[in-house]
Amino acid sequence: MPAPTGARLGESAVSFEDSDVVRSAVRLEGFRDEEFNYQLIRALGVADYGGSTAGECLAVVAEIADGSPSSWHRGFDRLAQRVEAEGRACLDAGRRVSGRDHLLRASTYYRTAEYYGGDTRGGDAGARSQACFLEAAALLDPPVERLDVAFGGGTLPGYLVRPAGPSVPRPTLVCVGGFDSSAEELYFQLGAPGAERGWNVYVFDGPGQLGCMRTSPGLTFRPDYEVPLAAVLDTVTALPDVDAERLALAGLSFGSYFATRSAATDLRVGALVANPPVVDMGRYMEAWVGTEVYRMTRDIRPEDVAGVPEDLMPRQMQWGIEAICTRFGVPSFHAWRDAMEAYRLADLLPAVSCPALALVGEREGDEPRAQFDAFVSGVTGPVASRVFRPADGASTHCQSDNLRLSAQVTFDWLEDELGAPPGPASDG
């Protein structure tokens, strides 16, 4: 397109201030609050596989007060409701694909709203996220199947994502999320890209994750996560189209700690992806919240901070204390900090003898990089690693800013270790 009159290509500075043409009314501005900024990137990232659009995410930014969790929740909840309503109107009109696509995005926006606004004791954003996804999943081609796992008197909700093509035994990846992940989000991160490449992918919500605790509130996080994961692997490997000899685990964020414990103790795990490796959850959390907060002498319970004015305690800290106590099943901040002592791989790390892939973003910080290095040097099986650089457009936590590159690295490595799926050759 030609430049407005007076502008010459090749000049070092060109001003279009007098132009009557507005190419975009969107301004690419995020948040000053670092966690808000990351959560925005996280919501934007799943656009790679139909989980959001850049325009919808950026539009809602204007509705959110920087650093206000309640404002965040309201903004994304309103967006989710609008997109869901559009999807239902499309379905009512018989427009299956349009309706499905809207519901997939609504699922992401409800999950994003839930991050700062819904837990197992209040709010229904997470339940709406699951409901929208489940309805959309049935409209995918092939459909994504709901597959729950019975465990501990409750249920671990999950989905089996299958590729198009004949129902034959295939290599299968089981995905383990972290502190605030959801099975629905894992679909966009690893389920959809895996199925494109001919893999079965199972995504689920385990103990401590909101998708699980919504219906099984007694199933909280536990350090011996290999126990619920054994139940998951029992269910998955019993399926006729799963090649039990080519079974891999991928752990994202804290899920890498959970997945690594399983790889160290369960011989059925043929390959492990740790993204990024977490070998000591307590040390990781101390680095995240800061030593001054982590080591504070005053103990705090969720009921102590409810309704405290924001000038005395930031809303994010109030939210965080309630979240960790609820999901780890402890009564107070000090009890949670004490519980963290058990969330260490320690002597289990050398027991990982299957092939392992370690991934980390260059800008994730010193502690994640130190745990990445400890993992790479500590496992005894063959290990590959990748540090994503800013120039890759993938240097954030779990490569939320470039899921396609992350998927390429992950599945190419898995095929090298476990073999390509049956059918046409994969190009990664």
pLDDT (tens digit, 9 = 90+) per residue, 307-348? 676 666 666 777 788 889 999 999 999 999 999 999 999 999
pLDDT of residue 332: 95
**Active site annotation includes 182:** no
Tell me which DSSP letter residue 355 carries: -
Joined together, the tokens standing for residue 92 give: 């009512």
- Mark out the alpha helices in 216-314 (DSSP H runs): 226-237, 255-265, 281-289, 291-294, 302-305
The whole-number pLDDT of residue 121 equals 38
Q: Which of 181, 216, 253, 262 is catalytic?
A: 253
* pLDDT tens digits along 129-172: 999 999 999 999 999 999 999 999 999 999 999 999 999 999 99
User: Looking at residue 421, what DSSP letter applies?
Assistant: P
All structural domains of the chain, each given as residue ranges with its CATH number in brackets, are 23-140 (1.20.1440.110), 142-280+343-418 (3.40.50.1820)
Q: What is the pLDDT of residue 18?
A: 59
Q: How far apart are CA 321 and CA 306, in angstroms?
A: 10
The mean pLDDT of the chain is 90
Give the per-residue pLDDT at 123. 55
Give the predicted TM-score (pTM) of the model: 0.91
> What is d(CA 54, CA 272) in angstroms, rounded to the nearest whole number?
32
Weakest mean pLDDT among 18-22, 28-32, 90-94, 282-286: 18-22
